Amino acid sequence: MLHAASPPPGFCLSFPRNLHRPRDSTEPSVRARSPVCCSVPETKNGATKLEYTPWVVVGLGNPGSKYHGTRHNVGFEVIDSISKAEGIRMNTIQSKALIGIGSIGDVPILLAKPQTYMNFSGESVGPLAAYYQVPLRHILLVYDEMSLPNGVLRLQPKGGHGYHNGLKNVMGHLDGSREFPRLSIGIGNPPGNMDVKAFLLQKFSSVERKQIDTSLEQGVEAVRTLVLNGFNNHVYRFNLGQKYKYHKV
């Protein structure tokens, strides 16, 4: 279900910004409001136009080219895929995160990739949540999950951290709350006695990479469905389909 804002006519709930461009950008720093806003303007007949509560979608990962394509960075890859699919430019730094502001349908959305390194992701997510004052139910975290087979996705309205250090750190910076949605991307378990850290920082095999590429496309559709429809039967069917998508009958 979509959560509609209900302020008085003419009220505009926008993304306030006091942001800094990346060093390699030629665009100046700005102090302004994003042109993407959530408003309820008055129509000619006195009725109001329905707009929606913005979403903040955060992918967890490690910054830097050495981590690109590794298992621990699939959260970043989902954000990149959404950015490309929706035409949202990731060109602004705020709260230790690379962010982009745009929309999915009529719903305002902020995409974020914390640049703090995985285990300190909360240092970015906490300030972003406080600054934009988006309710926890509209903060979606996207991250890798070893308890799921490679390429299998799961969308949940809330949950624990499951010993994921990045997720655990985020929860700590959200006053310990677990009441926020999350999209987890399966990366499987380390083979044999392989060190977990080495496994997480390893790139996918060619077969695994194909599965992940498919999951990225499905992840974009899952985020679209959630943002536009909320947690409903579509999400239930999505999770069921993901659970059995590699099961051969």
Ordered by where they begin, the domains of the chain are: 55-246 (3.40.50.1470)
Residues identified as active-site: 72
Cα 84 from Cα 106, distance rounded (Å): 17
Specify the pLDDT at position 142. Answer: 98
Q: Give this prediction's pTM.
A: 0.81
Nearest to 185 by CA among 226, 216, 210, 223: 216
Cα 182 from Cα 139, distance rounded (Å): 8
Q: What is the pLDDT of residues 20-44, one digit of tens each?
A: 444 444 444 333 444 334 434 445 5
Q: What is the pLDDT of residues 116-143, one digit of tens each?
A: 999 999 999 999 999 999 999 999 999 9
Specify the pLDDT at position 232. Answer: 87
Specify the pLDDT at position 125. Answer: 97
Low-confidence stretches of the chain (pLDDT beneath 70): 1-51, 247-249
Specify the pLDDT at position 30. Answer: 37
Specify the pLDDT at position 134. Answer: 94
Cα 230 from Cα 232, distance rounded (Å): 6
